Amino acid sequence: MSDTPATEATVIVRKGPLVGPVLSSVVAILAARADCPVDRLDDALLLADALAAHGPDHGEDGRLRVHITASPEGLELQVGDLRDGGGAALLESASLPGVGNVLERVADTVEIAEHPDELRLRLAFAGR
């Protein structure tokens, strides 16, 4: 276990052309600060891309709040400001023909919370 503390950021994005680049950049910066292995960085960016592509459709007013926590143990993304049932709907919308659900295939842990609706994704850095 490292002495490096967790680094956190919250990003609120609206549907539009900058959602993907902004969210991916913040995820990459925090993952780099946590000494994320390169293979897991690719996975983190896949999660960010999937959230950017599908998330705002399930958020309140086309907006999405993503709280990112990066530590030497891994990365956690808490996706909020979702409409009622938005966590489950966002997870379902991330399925691609022939591939399956991108979020479930890449994240080590996927949780849907209700009241308020939130989707939580975790990537572990160790032991992969």
Question: What are 4-19's pLDDT values in tens digits?
Answer: 677 999 999 888 888 9
- In the chain, what percentage of residues exceed pLDDT 90? 73
Q: What is the pLDDT of residue 116?
A: 79
CA distances from 95 to 42, 103, 127 (A): 18, 8, 26
Tally of domains within the chain: 1
Distance CA 35, CA 48 (A): 18
CATH label of the domain that carries residue 40: 3.30.565.10
Determine, yes or no, domain membership for 2: no
Determine, yes or no, domain membership for 20: yes
- What average pLDDT is seen over the chain? 90
DSSP state of 5: P
Distance CA 19, CA 36 (A): 22
* pLDDT tier at 128, thresholds 50, 70, 90: very low
CA distances from 22 to 26, 66, 85, 126 (A): 6, 11, 25, 26
Q: What is the pLDDT of residue 97?
A: 85
Q: What is the pLDDT of residue 6?
A: 79
Determine, yes or no, domain membership for 43: yes
* pLDDT tier at 73, thresholds 50, 70, 90: very high
Distance CA 61, CA 51 (A): 16
Q: Strand pairing partners for 53?
A: none
Determine, yes or no, domain membership for 1: no
Range of the domain at 85: 7-124
Determine, yes or no, domain membership for 62: yes
Rounded to an integer, the average pLDDT of 64-86 is 94
Question: What are 36-47's pLDDT values in tens digits?
Answer: 999 899 999 999
Rounded to an integer, the average pLDDT of 64-68 is 95
Q: Residue holding tokens 């919308």? A: 93
